[in-house]
Structures are given as structure tokens and as C-alpha cells.
Amino acid sequence: MAIVISCMCRSNDYDEDDADEDEEDPHLKKDEEYLHDYKRTKKGVVYQPVDLEALEEARKEREKELKMYSVIQEISAYFLFLWVIMILSYGNRDPNNFYLREALVNGFIKPGDLWVEFNNVNTEKKFWNWTYTALVPELFAGRWYNDRDPLGLRLYLDDRNNLKIGYAVLRQVRIQPRSCKVSWLIEEITPECAGFGSVAFEDGTLYTKGWRKVNSTETLVPPEYKYLTASQLKGYPFWGQVDWYGGGGYVVPLEAERDSDIKVLLQRLKRLEREGWIDKYTRAVFVEFGTYNAQVNLFCAITILAEFIPGGGVIPYYHIDPLRLLNYHTGFGFFQAVTEIVFVIFTIFFTVRELRRMIREGREYFRQYWNVAEFLSLIVSYTGIANHVYKMFVISEILRKFTETEGRGYVKLQEAVLLDELFCYQIGFVMSISTLKFLKLLRFNKRIGILSSTLRVCAEELQSYSVCLMVVFMAFVILFWLLLGRFVHEFSTFVYSFESCISMMLKKFNYEDMYAAQPIFTPIAFFTFSLATAVVLINILLSIIIRSFENVKRDVSLQSNEYEILDFFINRVKMLTGLGKAKVRPLPSMYRDKKKKPKDTVASFPDKVDKLVDFINDFYFENQVDFNSRDFLRKMNLDVARNNKTFDREKKKAKPVKAVKSKIPKSISERFDDF
């Protein structure tokens, strides 16, 4: 096509000879310049090569620009990736989570109410009282102000805003008799005992009323005394304040649609209280149900737990988890779905890139911190994707069951809560690693490199010093655990004691409780701990880091900062706006001598003097007398004595020097500049 068009549209002045025009110099515009220097001679224009040093500087500047462009592209792509992660992580968060949780806490926990507040439940009697006066009335929508039935609100809570997902249940977890060993000294007095709750020793036996064992298959087993497994209840282990508890147990459904049903439910609970449904083998009683608030599009899983400890008493605990399970029915939901697809694409792209690096570097790949961090981030990303996909199936199953049973069936949100919490951990880990990777992306800035360099320099000293620090710290942890473990909750276990000691190092502690528990040893132990850790050990640790920082700062200050992104951006913007020019440009030959300044040294002084004398000899004398040798005086004396006429002729030839004296200082000054 190009050949056909050129034949059809060719010019008709092909017979004209433009050979003369080729010999003429092209006319440059104001904003143009020659790429190379040319020198005109009798034979024509001769090419003059560019300055090699300037060309080398231009090459280095171009390499720097290419590196900076690659860094900018990497930063831009990572900004997009970080933005996608932010949408995925923050899109699942809603300010209404807090307010919904507060509303449910005020409804069921009753903070501030001395008679029915759940946090004040410390005995079995108070637990039943809270069940009658707070739990059951709040679970069902009460009658209107005019004493009419709440028609159409049978699935709502008493606040008439939160819809119950299924019905609530009371679930009891029991421990097996003889789950602990009694000392032989008192076996005759106390033949058996039951320890703390344990998943391995949970009781799953069938009982009749009063927790009497079933002797035959014909014995009637009430539903409240029938053990249901975790798979039947769709439950998972739960970690309370005291111990772990399994997902199974003995269940009492809390179902009611009318006022008469609520009265029947209360009578049933009172009957269970009289029968001793909660006894010395009870280790936990759960209240579990889920709600949905359409106004804010939030589900909520409520778990209220009363832990019955073997020593007597009750420890109240509750866990209310608002979560968003329906995301794709709004405009923002569609946008979030798009970002999820983009996140998958980014994950695949980073996986291919890291696999290439892994193949190219081999074992050396895992010896670099950033490579290991990227590898772990990719693994967590894939597990997060799988978790999110599985959570979608779980949600669809929950909604299907709720729709089929019209709200009357048993639906548990614990699995969805665990998956959502796991997804938050995964996306939080990826978000953290992605944020820290900006330190790697800003590696061209020497100031950013001070952090990693400081840690690298002081790593060996910190490794040896950390052993001493941990030995001293663990000694105080054990000391406080043994002294205060029986009296203060913050030191009741080794883990709690470890956490509390860290808090004391950060100046966060409750000294009054510690002093009340041990008024003699607490001041001594606390003063010694503060002096040893906060004053001595921590200051030594900071001294090691500060000394390494000073050494690194002195080294970094001597290094060149070639990749300063701020200067690069400013220079690029100036060039785009026409306010700036390139840093390195090959100069014409007429300016190169001014640019090149030879190094002046004492050793080159005699050579410079010889060059100056040679120039004077060539300029003033035709016979080129050598002023640099001792023969000069001898030759001059011989010439004067031999022939005075020759001397006169030389003297006459020297007269025209006066006519060119005006030119001499200029040439000599140029030589002195070179000198």
C-alpha cells in the first residue's frame, strides 16, 4: 500500500537537481541546535566527534533516569495494589458496627443496672434471675403500649429493629465426674472431683431428670438432658475467660411466638432450675443467637457465656460480633466485587514474578528478608481468597436454611463469624506487609536506608544482649507470678504475668491491687523491677541502637544520593514546562576548552614554564632559539662576537615587534590561563 500510494502521489519535480542545496548548511530554528559539531574546510564539511566525557555523563544520567522511571512505575503499581487492599480491608468495616453492638449490649447485658446486669452475675441464682428478667423479655417483641399483640414482629427482638436469625438456645457444657484425682488422704471424705472444663473430658452421656443416668433404652430422655454433638449444632470450640469449650452440649431452645408461648418458656426454665439443670458438673452455659438489621445491612452473632468454675462462683463473659455478610446488592458492592477480581489478578502477577526470581536465584532467594515477606504475603493472599470463596458458600447456606424454615429453624452464625475473623487476620497481614514494602520501594533514598542499615549493624550486638535482657525479664515475670498469682487477675497465669510485666515497662499498671495483695514484698519487687528494666536494661538497649545509628549516619553522609526522587520529579516537571534543561548536554568544541580545566599541581609547574618559554620563542624569533637549555647564552655570545652585522639584522627584525605588542598580551594571557 505504501508503494502504490507513493507512486500515485509522487512529486513531478524529480528532474530538478538539488545537489547544490545539499552542500548548503541547513537553517536552524531558535529552539534547535546541531547534534554534532562540523568544521568547514576547503574540501567541505568535516564531522567533528562529540565530547566523550560529556557523552559519558549523559549516558550515566540516562541510566539514572531509566532506573528512576522503573522505580516510579513500581511505586505507581504498588499504590494501586495497596489501594485495592484498603478497599477490601476497610470495605468490611462500618461505623454502625459499634453502635449496633452497643445497642445489643444495652439490651441484654444491662450495664449500670445493679439488679439484672450480667456482669454482676457471680452465682447460679443470679444467672437464673438474669435469664428471667433480662434475657427472655429482650428476646421477643413485647406487647404494644395499648396492650395489643405485636403482629408481624414475632421474629424481632424487643427493640423491633433486629430480626432474629433462627431461635436462641441455652447450651450447657458439662465435665465428666472423676475428671480429676482426689488425694488418697481424703478419699473417704470426698470420693470424687471434677476439674476445669476441657474438650477432652466433656460429658456427653444421656441423662434423665436430675442428671440421673439412663439405665435402659426404654427410659425417657428429655430434650434438655440429651447431648447434641458439635456437628449437629454446627458449632466450633469457644475460648472463654477460663478455658476452652467444645461446640456440643445439652440444649434448651428458647422459642416463642405469642405471649402464651413466652409464659410457657418461663415455666420451663423455672422447672429446669428446680430440677438442678445447673449443678457442680456444669462448666459453662451459653446463650447463642444471631440477628440481622436491614437498616444498616449488618448481621450480629451474640454469645453470652457464664463460666462455672470448679471452686464455685460464676465468671460472666460475652462476645458480640457485628459483621457484614451481604455485600454485592448495592453500588459499592459491585465496586468491591471488581476490586476483589483486581486483587486476584495482582496476586497472580506477583506470583509469576516471584516464581521467576525463585528459579533465577535458587536458594539465595530465601536469604533475603523482602523475598521471604513477599512469599509469605502471597501464601496468605491465596488462603484469604480461598477463605472468602468458602465464606460465600456458608452465607448462602445460612440464608437458604433461614428462608426454607421461615425463621423457625435453628441457624448458627459461628462458622461465618470465624471465617470473617480469619479473613480479617489474613487481609490485615497482607496489608501490614504491603505497607512495610514501601521501605523497599524507597530504597533509592539514603535517608530511608538508615533504618535497615541501623538494624543490620546492631543485629549481632542485639542478639547477644537480648539473651541477658530476656533472662532478667523472665526472672521478674516468674517472681510476680508466684507472689501475686493467687490474688491479682493480671498475674494469675504465666502468660498474664508476662503481659503485665510488659505493661509495667510501659508505665501501665495497677499498683493499688498489687500492694493490697502483698504489702511487704510488692514495693521491693516493683522498685527492683523498675530499676533493673526501665532504668538499666532499656537504656543499654537504646544506647546500642543509638550508637549504631550514629555510625550509620556518618557512613551514609559520605555516600552520593543519586536517586533522590524529589529532585528528579522537580527536574522532570521543569523540563516539561520549559523552565529547565537537561543536566548533561554535549557542548560544542568552542566551549569545551573552557569546560575542561586541567589539574594544577606543583609537579607540573616546570612543564608549564617550558611551554610558556617555547611559545615566546616561537612568537618572537624565527630561528626558534631554545631558552630551556644552557646553550642559549653560548650561542648568543658567539653570534654577537662573530658578526655584528648579523646582530644588527636581528635587531632590525625585532623592530616590528612594537606593531604587534597589542596582540601579545592576549596570547600570553591565554597561555597563563592554561598555566
Which pLDDT belongs to residue 271?
A: 92
At residue 11 the predicted structure's pLDDT band, cuts being 50, 70 and 90, is: low
CB 335 within 8 A of CB 342: no
Which pLDDT belongs to residue 53?
A: 81
Q: Across 151-155, 237-241, 386-390, 406-410, which has the greatest mean pLDDT?
A: 386-390
pTM of the predicted structure, to 2 decimals = 0.69
Q: Which residues pair with 322 in a beta bridge?
A: 300
Q: Residue 486: is its pLDDT beyond 70?
A: yes
Helix then strand count (H, E) for the chain reads: 23, 12
- Expressed in angstroms, the distance from the first to the final Cα of the chain is 65
CB 126 within 8 A of CB 117: no
Q: Residue 290: is its pLDDT beyond 80?
A: yes
Which pLDDT belongs to residue 193?
A: 81
What is the C-alpha to C-alpha distance for residues 573 and 580, in angstroms, rounded to an integer? 8
The per-residue pLDDT for range 151-183, each reduced to its tens digit, is: 878 888 988 899 998 889 999 999 888 778 888
Q: Which residues pair with 47 in a beta bridge?
A: 38
Q: Residue 402: is its pLDDT beyond 60?
A: yes
What is the C-alpha to C-alpha distance for residues 102 and 96, in angstroms, rounded to an integer? 10
Q: Where are the beta strands (DSSP E) in 42-110?
A: 44-48
C-alpha cell at 8: 500515485
Per DSSP bridges, beta strands 207-208 and 212-213 are antiparallel
Query: Which residue type, as a one-letter code, is found at position 606?
Result: P
Residues 6+ positions from 675 with CB-CB distance below 8 Å: 608, 611, 612
CB 155 within 8 A of CB 407: yes
26: exposed, middle or buried (C-beta count within 10 Å: 0-12, 13-18, 19+)?
exposed
Phi-psi region of 246 (alpha: psi -120 to 50; beta: other; left: phi over 0): beta
C-alpha cell at 37: 559539531
Torsional sign, CA 353, 359, 361, 362? positive
Q: Residue 318: is its pLDDT beyond 80?
A: yes
Which pLDDT belongs to residue 131?
A: 93
Which pLDDT belongs to residue 303?
A: 94
Nearest Cα neighbor of 268 from 280, 279, 277, 258 is 277
Which pLDDT belongs to residue 558?
A: 46
Higher-confidence residue of 594 and 525: namely: 525
Q: Residue 446: is its pLDDT beyond 70?
A: no
Which pLDDT belongs to residue 351?
A: 92
Q: Considering just the CA atoms, what is the radius of gyration of the chain in Å?
A: 45
Residues 6+ positions from 626 with CB-CB distance below 8 Å: 617, 632
413: exposed, middle or buried (C-beta count within 10 Å: 0-12, 13-18, 19+)?
buried
Higher-confidence residue of 643 and 355: namely: 355
CA distances from 239 to 176, 417, 445 (A): 19, 14, 47
Which pLDDT belongs to residue 28?
A: 66
What is the C-alpha to C-alpha distance for residues 515 and 496, in angstroms, rounded to an integer? 18
Give Cα 269 distance to the centre of its chain: 50
Q: Residue 107: is its pLDDT beyond 60?
A: yes
Residues 6+ positions from 664 with CB-CB distance below 8 Å: 619
Range with the lowest mean pLDDT among 75-84, 203-212, 266-275, 572-581?
Answer: 572-581
Q: Residue 362: is its pLDDT beyond 60?
A: yes
Range with the lowest mean pLDDT among 248-257, 523-532, 634-643?
Answer: 634-643
Q: Across 81-95, 141-155, 232-246, 428-442, which has the greatest mean pLDDT?
A: 232-246
The per-residue pLDDT for range 622-651, each reduced to its tens digit, is: 544 454 444 555 555 555 455 555 545 555
At residue 668 the predicted structure's pLDDT band, cuts being 50, 70 and 90, is: very low
Q: What is the mean pLDDT of residues 519-525?
A: 89
Cell 405485636 found at: 150
Which pLDDT belongs to residue 289?
A: 92
What is the C-alpha to C-alpha distance for residues 162 and 141, in angstroms, rounded to an integer? 10
Three-state secondary structure of 251-305: EEEECCCCHHHHHHHHHHHHHHHHHCCCCCCEEEEEEEEEEEECCCCEEEEEEEE
The per-residue pLDDT for range 597-619, each reduced to its tens digit, is: 555 556 677 777 777 777 777 66
The values of phi and psi at residue 643, to 5°, are: -150, 105
C-alpha cell at 173: 457444657
Q: What is the mean pLDDT of residues 299-328?
A: 89
What is the C-alpha to C-alpha distance for residues 359 and 338, in angstroms, rounded to an integer? 32
Range with the lowest mean pLDDT among 38-47, 313-322, 424-433, 444-453?
Answer: 38-47
What is the C-alpha to C-alpha distance for residues 675 and 669, in angstroms, rounded to an integer? 9
Q: Which residues pair with 289 in a beta bridge?
A: 302
At residue 568 the predicted structure's pLDDT band, cuts being 50, 70 and 90, is: low
At residue 24 the predicted structure's pLDDT band, cuts being 50, 70 and 90, is: low
Q: Residue 663: is its pLDDT beyond 50?
A: no
Higher-confidence residue of 172 and 336: namely: 172
Nearest Cα neighbor of 363 from 372, 350, 351, 376 is 372
Q: What is the mean pLDDT of residues 354-380?
A: 88
Which pLDDT belongs to residue 596?
A: 47
